[in-house]
Structure formats: structure tokens, C-alpha cells
Amino acid sequence: MGYTRKEQAVLSRYFTNTEDDVFALVNLPEVIKGTLISRYSRSGKDMRRLFLDEFIASKEVSRFISQKRLDDKKLDVARAENFYERILVGFGDDSVAELGGAHLALENISVLATKSIEEHRIGLSPLEKSTRYVYFDKKVDGEYLFYKDKDIMRSKYKKLYLETNHLLFDTYSRIVREIQPILKKIFPGDEKEEAYRFTIRAKACDTARALLPISAKTNMGLFGNGRAFEYLLTHLLNDPLREVRELAQKMNRELRLVIPAFVKRVNNERGRQYGDYLNRTRQSLAYLKRLGKRKVALEKKPRVKLVDYDRRALEKVAAAIIYERTNLSYQEVLARVKRMSRKEKERILKSYCSHRQSRHHKPGRAFEWPYFSFEITADWGVYKDLMRHRMLTRHRQLFTNEMGYDVPYEVAVAGFEKIFRRAMEAALDAYDQIKKDFPYQAQYLVTHGAYNRFYLRMNLRELVHLTELRSIRQGHPSYRKVAQGMARIFTKKFPLLARYALLFVDYNDYHLERLEAFRKLEKKAREKGVRAFVE
């Protein structure tokens, strides 16, 4: 590589090695890492030489040589900042903004606010506090932890909003605790077994979460690249909810401390113009709300509909498989596939899919050609879980309580149905009243168990991933049923394709769905000498 021993001493602090062609960057500010990689694409030098020549001030290298140390402050951050100013802000090369990122922690925000963040899925990796493993019955100064929207708190609905939230949390708190000894009688096991105890706890949390309003405060960890954060902040700063706008301002403030060059455009003229575009579009489409129904029909059970699909799905998959392995044009390949017998197409599918040994073996890219669209009516918790899939397009309506709800089997069997219904009906009544004046803020009273309608569009590869993952034993019962429903509908419409595509969909039903997973976790933890579960 041609580095002197003194240069290697400098480089060893910022690169994992100084000899090999593959190495990682360490101990560097995000702006320098991002700028270095971007500058690297326009230079004939190797990265480490470029770093020495352009990012370490030469006089500081000589000082390091004499003092045997290098202060991080001597890194030429100003050069990196100027480069970003010129390339990203000046010329708009958005790809540069993907070369650096940041981790954020967002605490005491509503569950509803997390959805505004998670709607923007590309380039972001969010992780939200789990309703399955954490109790939401904590009180601080005698108050449950739920978001108090300023607009509602200044309105005539303040008392109604507070009373409804308290009723929901009171009922949740009672059921999540009192149902556990009943579940142990319904599903007996060894109470000395830690995995069993935590399975019962998870089952209680899964059951009681239907009562949780999405006003509930939660915590979220978020990692993203600069481009994703810039796009996210621009949208959040123009969100209809005050909480989300205020949250965006705080996020912008903190990100400017760690990756300032990456989010600079949020507040410049370009950012303001984009925000104006978002607001004008929302306002110009507001009249469409009049097309909705005053009274929405109650749903008696979850529903899955295949509302649009590629009728040539089988042909497209077969053609894509062949295309990669020949020198024929797509039209020539498609013409050949159309002349093939069903047996010939099946042979191609079998060769392409039959070597998968588990759901972790992803099917190939040929499955990305055909697309399918599902309209799903299910409890809000299902939307919360399925929206996390990034390789699909989702459309949702304003969250609502007015479509009805389902009473979990365990609630009914354990004798809590009456108090459960009382709380859910109160949430519906309060939602109906508040939405007349505050349609966006009324969403805070939507419960996890309330039916909502949303639309998912995905290619076959994502359909395989979603249905195989979400139907596994340890999944939540609500979304497992939806995944199974999607798989059954697809199988009925495309039986040959389904035979080789949906190899690991689990159509079984389970009661203590987490038990086996917890047992495996407990076994691994014992082997490593650590605790598997923490209260």
C-alpha cells in the first residue's frame, strides 16, 4: 500500500487495518466518513491515502509524529462540512446524504406518533417498545402514561378524553395482572420453569393490549441515514398532529448536533417549499372527506380480500427464471412460456424453489415480477405489526374505533368480557364525539383492539416472506390469522404457484404460542451463563 510506519500509526487509529484491501472505518465523525466515501468515488487515490492527504491537516500529522498521538479535533472536519455544503446543499446530490447516519432515542411519545415516523420506511430502522414484553400499567404521580394533546386539553372534550383514557388503562391494568393465574389454569405448566412463566406473562400482555389506546406513551430507538432523516423531518414538520410537529423540531435540533450537514436542507428554502407542497396537497384534497359514510358498518370479524392481482403471475415468474439463464429477449422468453405446458412450468418452479430448507432461505428475484394487493380489516395491532414490512406499499385511512372490535377468546373465558366491552364502548363513544371537531386528534383514543381497514400491495417475494414469517407459532394470534388468510386466498387463486412458493406457511393454531421459543432462549442463556428473562 506504500504507507510509512508513521503513516500506518495514524491510519491504525481510524481504519481496522492498514494492509488489506478490505477494511472498516472507525473512530470518525459521521460527516467525515460520509464525505470521505463520497470524495473517494471521485479520486484515483486509495481511501487511506486520500484520508492522509486531504482529511488530516499535514502539520498535525507531523505533530503526531513528534508527540506519538493525534487529537481527534485535528481531523479536518471543516473540509468535510464544506464538501457537504457544496455537493449536497449546493448541487443536490442526494446519494451523498446516505453515507452517514445517526441513532436517536425518542422517549415518552405516543404510540400514534410512532406511526407517523414508521410510515417513512426506506433508510430508517425503528424499534419500538413491545406491548408483548412490557407492562403499560405504570403510573407517575398517580397518572397513567398517555399523551395529552394540547388541542383536546384546551377544548370541551378535556374531561371526556381524560376519563376515557383512565378507564381504558384501569381495565387494561386489571386484566393484564388478574388474567395470569387464570391462564395458568387454562394452560397448565411447570411454574418453576422460567420460560413457562414468561409465556403466561406474554400471553396476558398480548390479550390485554387490545384495550391499550394509542395515546399510550412509548419509547423508540431509531437509526437512519442522512437522506432518510431529511425526508422524514420534512414530512413530520408538516404533520397534522401537533405532537408530531413538536417532536420533529426536537429531532431536528438533536440531529444538527451529530450530523448537521446531513439535515441542513430541512430548514432551507428547498425544505420550506417541500413542506408547502405537502400542506397544499393535503388541503386541496380535504373535500374528499365528504365522500365517506356518516355511519360505518360494524365488522363482525377480521377480513382479508385480494382486491387486485397479476393474472399472468405464473407466466411472469417462469419467464423471469428463464430470462436470467438465456440470451433471449424478454418478449422471446414470454412467448416460449405461453407455449409451455403446465407440466413444463411446474418443472421450472420446482427446480427454482424446492431447495429451500426453511423460511430463512429467501426465494429468488423472479418472484418480484408479479404484484398482489390485499385489503385487510383487522384490529389496529395487526396494522401496527404489518406496517413494519418495508418492501411493500401500504395505504391506510384515519385510525378509527367506529368499525367495531373483537373480544379476545381468553378475555371471554376468564370472565372479563363485561368490563372489556364497557371500556371499548366508552372509547368508541368518546372517539365519535371528539372526531367531529378534532378528526386527527381523536385517533389518540383508538385502541389496539379496534378494527381498522388498510391496503397492502406487494410482489410475490414479499408475500412469501410476510405469510411465512407472520404465520409462525410465536407470532401474535391476530396477525397470524391475517397471514394465513392471505396465503389461503393466494393458494386458491394460484394453486401451482403456491405449491412451490408458500412452502413454510404455518396454518396451525396455538394457545401458548411463545413457549417453545422461550424454552430455546432459556436453554441458550443457561449455556452462556446469563439470564434469559428480565423483569
What are 138's three cell numbers?
Answer: 405504570
The whole-number pLDDT of residue 66 equals 45
Looking up cell 404455518 gives 506
Angstrom CA distances, 233 to 113, 116, 217, 229, 472, stand at 13, 11, 21, 6, 35
Query: pTM for this structure?
Result: 0.85
d(CA 53, CA 45): 10
Question: Contact, 498 vs 491, CB < 8 A?
Answer: yes
The dihedral over CA atoms of 368, 373, 378, 380, expressed in degrees to the nearest 10, equals 70
Looking up cell 413457562 gives 196
Segments making up each domain of the chain, as ranges: 5-97, 303-399+450-516
Interior angle at CA 337, CA 336 and CA 339, nearest 5: 70
**In 10 A of CB 42, how many CB atoms?**
8
d(CA 472, CA 507): 9
Looking up cell 481496522 gives 16
CATH number (3.90.950.10, 1.10.3720.10, 2.40.280.10, 3.30.1360.170) of 303-399+450-516 reads 3.30.1360.170
- Output Rg (C-alpha) for the chain, integer angstroms: 27
Give the relative orientation of helices 226-236 and 111-118 as an angle to the nearest 10 degrees.
130
Which parts of the chain sit beneath pLDDT 70? 1, 57-97, 293, 513-515, 517-535
**In 10 A of CB 234, how many CB atoms?**
24
Question: Contact, 149 vs 441, CB < 8 A?
Answer: yes
* Tens digits of residue pLDDT in 204-256: 999 999 999 999 999 999 999 888 898 899 999 999 999 999 999 999 989 88
The whole-number pLDDT of residue 85 equals 63
In 3D, which of 471, 465, 302 has the Cα closest to residue 383? 302
Going 38 to 39 to 44 to 49, the CA torsion angle's sign is negative
For residue 402, is it left (φ>0), alpha (ψ between -120 and 50) or beta? alpha
For residue 450, is it left (φ>0), alpha (ψ between -120 and 50) or beta? beta
The whole-number pLDDT of residue 86 equals 62
The whole-number pLDDT of residue 367 equals 96
Looking up cell 401496527 gives 384
* Tens digits of residue pLDDT in 362-399: 999 999 999 999 999 999 999 999 998 989 999 999 99
What are 32's three cell numbers?
Answer: 467525515
